[in-house]
Chains A and B, each alone.
Chain A
Amino acid sequence: MTLAEMQFSVPDLGIASAEIFVLAMACLILIVDAFARDKRRTAAYALTQLALAGAAILTLAGNSGQLFHAFGQVLADDPASGSVKQISYTFGEMYVGDLMGSLLKFLVYVSVAVTLSYSRAYVQGRPDMARGEFYALGLFATLGMMVMISASHFLTVYIGIELLSLSLYAMVAMNRDSVAATEAAMKYFVLGALASGLLLYGMSMLYGAAGTLEIQALSQRLFADEANGIIVSFGLVFLVAGIAFKLGVAPFHMWIPDVYHGAPTAVALFIASAPKLAAFAVVIRVLVNGLIVASPDWQTMLIILSVLSMAIGNFAAIAQTSIKRMLAYSAISHMGFMLLGMSAGVVAGNPRLIFSAYGSSMFYVVTYVLASLGAFGTILMLSRAGFEADEISDFAGLNKRNAWYAAIMMMMMFSMAGIPFFVGFFAKFSVLQATVAAGRLWLALAAIFFSLVGAYYYLRVVKVMYFDPPASAEPIEAATDAKLLLSANGLAIALIGIFPNALMMLCAKSLVDSIVF
Chain B
Amino acid sequence: MSGLPLLSLAVWTPIFSGLIVLFFGADRNSPLARKLALFGALAGLFGTLPLYAGFDTATPAMQFVERLPWIRRFDVDYHLGVDGISMLFIILNSFITVIVVLAGWKVIESKVAQYNAAFLIMSGLLNGIFAALDGMLFYIFFEASLIPLYLIIGVWGGPRRVYAAFKFFLFTLMGSLLLLVSLIYLYLDSGSFAILDWQRMPIPLETQKWIFLAFLAAFAVKVPMWPVHTWLPDAHVEAPTGGSIVLAAIALKLGAYGFVRFSLPIAPDASHAFSGLILALSLIAVIYIGFVALAQEDMKKLVAYSSIAHMGFVTLGFFLFSALSVEGALVQMISHGFVAGAMFYCIGVMYDRVHSRQIADYGGVVNTMPKFAAFFMLFAMANAGLPATSGFVGEFMVILSSVKFNLWVGFAAASTMILGAAYTLWMYKRVVFGAVGNHHVAGLSDVTGREFLVLALLAAGVLGMGLYPQAFTEIMHSSVDELLRHVSVSKIQ
Chain A positions near chain B (C-beta within 8 angstroms) = 77, 399, 403, 414, 419-421, 425-426, 429-430, 432-433, 436-437, 441, 444-445, 448, 451-452, 455-456, 459, 462-463, 466-467, 500-501, 504-505, 508
* Cα distance, A500 to B187, chains bound together (Å): 18
Task: Judge whether A505 and B72 touch: CB under 8 Å.
Answer: yes
- A–B Cβ pairs within 8 angstroms, 28 of them: A414-B147, A419-B144, A420-B144, A426-B71, A429-B180, A433-B184, A433-B187, A436-B184, A436-B188, A444-B184, A445-B178, A452-B170, A452-B173, A452-B174, A455-B169, A455-B170, A456-B166, A459-B150, A459-B169, A463-B165, A463-B166, A467-B162, A500-B71, A501-B71, A501-B72, A501-B73, A505-B72, A505-B73
* Cα distance, A463 to B161, chains bound together (Å): 10
Chain B positions near chain A (C-beta within 8 angstroms) = 70-74, 111, 114, 136, 139-140, 143-144, 146-147, 150-151, 154-155, 161-162, 165-166, 169-170, 173-174, 177-178, 180-181, 184-185, 187-188
* Cα distance, A452 to B185, chains bound together (Å): 19
Q: Output the nearest chain A residue to B141 by Cβ-Cβ distance.
A: A420
Task: Judge whether A456 and B181 touch: CB under 8 Å.
Answer: no
Task: Judge whether A459 and B166 touch: CB under 8 Å.
Answer: yes
Q: Provide the residues of chain B in CB contact with A425, threshold 8 Å.
A: 140, 143
Q: Output the nearest chain A residue to B166 by Cβ-Cβ distance.
A: A459
Across the A-B interface, give the 7 residue pairs with the lowest CB-CB distance, nearest first: A420-B140, A448-B177, A504-B73, A467-B154, A501-B71, A436-B184, A420-B144
Task: Judge whether B143 and A419 touch: CB under 8 Å.
Answer: yes
Q: Provide the residues of chain B in CB contact with A429, threshold 8 Å.
A: 74, 136, 180, 184
A432 in contact with B169 given A403-B114, A504-B73 (CB within 8 Å): no
Q: Output the nearest chain A residue to B181 by Cβ-Cβ distance.
A: A444
Which of A448, A452, A467 counts the most B-chain CB atoms under 10 A from its CB?
A467
Q: A433-B184, A452-B177 are in contact. List 16 more A-B contacts (CB 8 A).
A: A425-B143, A429-B184, A433-B187, A436-B181, A436-B185, A441-B185, A444-B184, A452-B170, A459-B150, A459-B166, A462-B151, A463-B154, A466-B154, A467-B155, A500-B71, A501-B72
Q: Provide the residues of chain A in CB contact with B73, threshold 8 Å.
A: 430, 500-501, 504-505, 508
Q: Provide the residues of chain B in CB contact with A419, threshold 8 Å.
A: 143-144, 146-147, 173
Q: Output the nearest chain A residue to B73 by Cβ-Cβ distance.
A: A504
B144 to chain A, nearest CB (A): 5
Task: Judge whether A420 and B173 touch: CB under 8 Å.
Answer: no
Task: Judge whether B72 and A451 touch: CB under 8 Å.
Answer: no
* Cα distance, A426 to B139, chains bound together (Å): 12
Q: Provide the residues of chain A in CB contact with B185, threshold 8 Å.
A: 436, 441
* Cα distance, A77 to B154, chains bound together (Å): 41
Q: Provide the residues of chain A in CB contact with B166, threshold 8 Å.
A: 456, 459, 463
Q: Output the nearest chain B residue to A466 by Cβ-Cβ distance.
A: B155
A302 to chain B, nearest CB (A): 20
Task: Judge whether A448 and B178 touch: CB under 8 Å.
Answer: yes
Task: Judge whether A433 and B177 touch: CB under 8 Å.
Answer: no
Q: Output the nearest chain B residue to A455 by Cβ-Cβ distance.
A: B173
Q: Output the nearest chain B residue to A449 by Cβ-Cβ distance.
A: B177
Task: Judge whether A451 and B143 touch: CB under 8 Å.
Answer: no
Q: Chain B's interface: helix, strand, loop or mixed, by majority?
A: helix
* Cα distance, A504 to B180, chains bound together (Å): 19
Which of B111, B178, B184 counts the most A-chain CB atoms under 10 A from its CB?
B184
Q: Provide the residues of chain A in CB contact with B169, threshold 8 Å.
A: 455, 459
A225 to chain B, nearest CB (A): 34
* Cα distance, A445 to B144, chains bound together (Å): 21
Task: Judge whether B144 and A448 touch: CB under 8 Å.
Answer: no
Q: Output the nearest chain B residue to A422 by Cβ-Cβ distance.
A: B144
Q: Provide the residues of chain B in CB contact with A462, threshold 8 Å.
A: 150-151
A440 to chain B, nearest CB (A): 11
* Cα distance, A466 to B161, chains bound together (Å): 12
Task: Judge whether B181 and A466 touch: CB under 8 Å.
Answer: no
Task: Judge whether B184 and A432 touch: CB under 8 Å.
Answer: yes
B174 to chain A, nearest CB (A): 5
B195 to chain A, nearest CB (A): 17
Q: Provide the residues of chain B in CB contact with A433, threshold 8 Å.
A: 74, 184, 187-188
* Cα distance, A456 to B136, chains bound together (Å): 24
Q: Output the nearest chain A residue to B187 by Cβ-Cβ distance.
A: A433
Which of A420, A426, A429, A452 counts the most B-chain CB atoms under 10 A from its CB?
A420
Q: Output the nearest chain B residue to A436 by Cβ-Cβ distance.
A: B184
* Cα distance, A403 to B151, chains bound together (Å): 13
A344 to chain B, nearest CB (A): 12
* Cα distance, A399 to B73, chains bound together (Å): 37
* Cα distance, A429 to B280, chains bound together (Å): 35
Task: Judge whether B71 and A467 touch: CB under 8 Å.
Answer: no
Task: Judge whether B71 and A456 touch: CB under 8 Å.
Answer: no
* Cα distance, A419 to B174, chains bound together (Å): 12
Which of B151, B181, B187 counts the most A-chain CB atoms under 10 A from its CB?
B181
Which of A414, A445, A501 counts the most B-chain CB atoms under 10 A from its CB?
A501
Task: Judge whether A432 and B181 touch: CB under 8 Å.
Answer: yes
Which of B73, B111, B151 counts the most A-chain CB atoms under 10 A from its CB?
B73
* Cα distance, A317 to B162, chains bound together (Å): 19
A501 in contact with B140 given A433-B187, A436-B188, A448-B181 (CB within 8 Å): no
* Cα distance, A448 to B111, chains bound together (Å): 34
* Cα distance, A426 to B143, chains bound together (Å): 13
Task: Judge whether B154 and A441 touch: CB under 8 Å.
Answer: no
* Cα distance, A419 to B139, chains bound together (Å): 10
Task: Judge whether A441 and B181 touch: CB under 8 Å.
Answer: yes
Select which of B72, B180, B184 is within 8 A of A77 by beta carbon.
B72
Q: Output the nearest chain B residue to A432 by Cβ-Cβ distance.
A: B184
Q: Output the nearest chain A residue to B214 by Cβ-Cβ distance.
A: A445
* Cα distance, A217 to B187, chains bound together (Å): 39
Task: Judge whether B162 and A463 touch: CB under 8 Å.
Answer: yes
A487 to chain B, nearest CB (A): 13
Q: Provide the residues of chain A in CB contact with B70, threshold 8 Å.
A: 501
Q: Output the nearest chain A residue to B142 by Cβ-Cβ distance.
A: A420
Q: Provide the residues of chain B in CB contact with A459, threshold 8 Å.
A: 150, 166, 169-170
A448 to chain B, nearest CB (A): 4
Q: Provide the residues of chain B in CB contact with A426, threshold 8 Å.
A: 71
Q: Provide the residues of chain A in CB contact with B71, threshold 8 Å.
A: 426, 500-501, 504
Q: Provide the residues of chain B in CB contact with A466, threshold 8 Å.
A: 151, 154-155
B26 to chain A, nearest CB (A): 9
* Cα distance, A414 to B185, chains bound together (Å): 24
* Cα distance, A433 to B56, chains bound together (Å): 38
Q: Provide the residues of chain A in CB contact with B178, threshold 8 Å.
A: 445, 448
B23 to chain A, nearest CB (A): 11
* Cα distance, A441 to B182, chains bound together (Å): 10
* Cα distance, A430 to B114, chains bound together (Å): 32
Q: Output the nearest chain B residue to A445 by Cβ-Cβ distance.
A: B181
* Cα distance, A489 to B111, chains bound together (Å): 25
Task: Judge whether A421 and B74 touch: CB under 8 Å.
Answer: no
Q: Provide the residues of chain A in CB contact with B180, threshold 8 Å.
A: 429, 432, 448
Q: Provide the residues of chain B in CB contact with A436, threshold 8 Å.
A: 181, 184-185, 188
Q: Provide the residues of chain A in CB contact with B143, threshold 8 Å.
A: 419-420, 425
* Cα distance, A462 to B139, chains bound together (Å): 22
* Cα distance, A419 to B140, chains bound together (Å): 8
Q: Output the nearest chain A residue to B210 by Cβ-Cβ distance.
A: A441
Q: Output the nearest chain B residue to A417 by Cβ-Cβ distance.
A: B173
* Cα distance, A463 to B114, chains bound together (Å): 15
* Cα distance, A444 to B178, chains bound together (Å): 10
Q: Provide the residues of chain A in CB contact with B150, threshold 8 Å.
A: 459, 462
* Cα distance, A420 to B177, chains bound together (Å): 12
A282 to chain B, nearest CB (A): 25
